[in-house]
Structure 1
């Protein structure tokens, strides 16, 4: 790969990630509202509150939200911070994967897997739900892609998926037996089938550690800002597992060296 492409591709990938992020917001909104997906809904952006079509300039990822100050030009109701956050997450993921893997089949695979994780995590934040329609196909894609494209051994891929999912299934059962309440959802178990295949068996410690530390930090911050009522607030674990998986895929090797 030429030096020009090495420098340019992450920027192009980040821009493409912004565009994909805009599509992800549509997917999340349509799932949450139960509205059917259509080609028109993906091409023509509308206000999520009043359904008025947005101007082309207003639909520019992130920038449009900032220019409108987070409110629809027509109904003046809040659009929601979810939209620019998803677009930024998609942008950062696309650019980061581009830096690590360049223009390659690996980049394409990880973009698809990252898209599933971003959409599923956003739904989990809103509904405390990780849809089977995302996690189970995602697991199948991750298993096949990790072996055929990422060059991981079947033992690492299948072992990571089985151990990751199995471990969280045991944690789910154990927590329910001890407390009588649900601490880990079945969706998290299914998500770990996908993330375990992406990270491999050897990558599970980094994935789980990063996810746990991130969740603890966010919970501490929420408790600090929200007082004692926020201390017992439910925080979905799916986004943190996804974050841990993404960090492991990008920098897992470096983290293992640092900790060794």
Structure 2
């Protein structure tokens, strides 16, 4: 998706600047996502059905293209295993219900967005906005809401967006720098639509803790300084998934802990 977005942005910029459109040879269109068959980026070999089975095909091919022998990144089986495990947890948590089906869609979009954000620091509108609208629709079309009622979903989307938007502008006014991207606002709005307004604060808190731990470890391993920008989207995704799928109630757990203390 990122190469296709960048290709379209270049075309839009040339049109805005009234520059001549580049030929297909000078600026080839990146491969399709849905219609075009999967193929090797090295030699163009189109994958047969048995070469496209998650995890198993990578093992059978020993991590190399059957056409040219080019190494296939281990990212493929790792992401496939992770996604399969998360899907299984959704079914284990909700059973064979509509909630499980919706949670699987929710999970798949979060995995895709996390991977894209980690690699490119982009959170495409093509993923964040459908997630937002789907969360709002599921609160309306199902009596009482599939996960949360409509009022909570609408307020969750609004509070989610405005909370990070406010932090962004406060940080920019104080430092003159941009602390995060607009994609983070939209992702938190989507998570608020799915999890409800009461989950926005727990999601922000959990994502901040997860981001601090994982981000610090990553900077140490890579030998980077603290000024290195770190994508925040994956940590929001982790927190949102924990709250929705695992039904983790941070504020409720804290209240019970205080009561016991």
TM tier, shorter chain? Answer: 0.7 to 0.9
Residue 143 of structure 1: how far off its partner (Å): 0.9
The alignment status of 1:223 with 2:245, answered yes or no, reads no
The range that moved more, 188-197 or 114-123, is: 114-123
Gaps of 5+ in 2: 7-28, 256-261
Q: Deviations for 1:5-39, whole angstroms, at most 9, x for unmatched residues?
A: xxxxxxxxxxxxxxxxxxxxxx6786678323443
SS in 2 for 1:252: coil
The range that moved more, 98-107 or 62-71, is: 62-71
Q: 1:208: which partner in 2?
A: 204
Q: 1:53: which partner in 2?
A: 46
List aligned pairs for 1:110-259, cutoff 5 A. Answer: 110-149=103-142, 150-227=146-223, 229-253=224-248, 255-259=250-254
Residues 94 and 164 of structure 1: is their aligned pair in 2 closer, same or farther, counting only changes over 3 Å?
same
Residues 97 and 29 of structure 1: is their aligned pair in 2 closer, same or farther, counting only changes over 3 Å?
farther
Residues 64 and 29 of structure 1: is their aligned pair in 2 closer, same or farther, counting only changes over 3 Å?
farther
Higher-Rg structure is 2
Query: Aligned equivalents of 1:124 and 1:65: distance in 2?
Result: 24
Q: 1:13: which partner in 2?
A: none
List aligned pairs for 1:70-89, cutoff 5 A. Answer: 70-89=63-82
TM-score normalized by the length of structure 1: 0.78
TM-score normalized by the length of structure 2: 0.78
Q: How many pairs does the alignment contain?
A: 230
Name the Cα RMSD after superposition: 2.4
Residues 72 and 199 of structure 1: is their aligned pair in 2 closer, same or farther, counting only changes over 3 Å?
same
Gaps of 5+ in 1: 1-26
The answer (yes or no) to whether the contact 2:153–2:193 under 8 Å persists in 1 is yes
SS in 2 for 1:97: helix
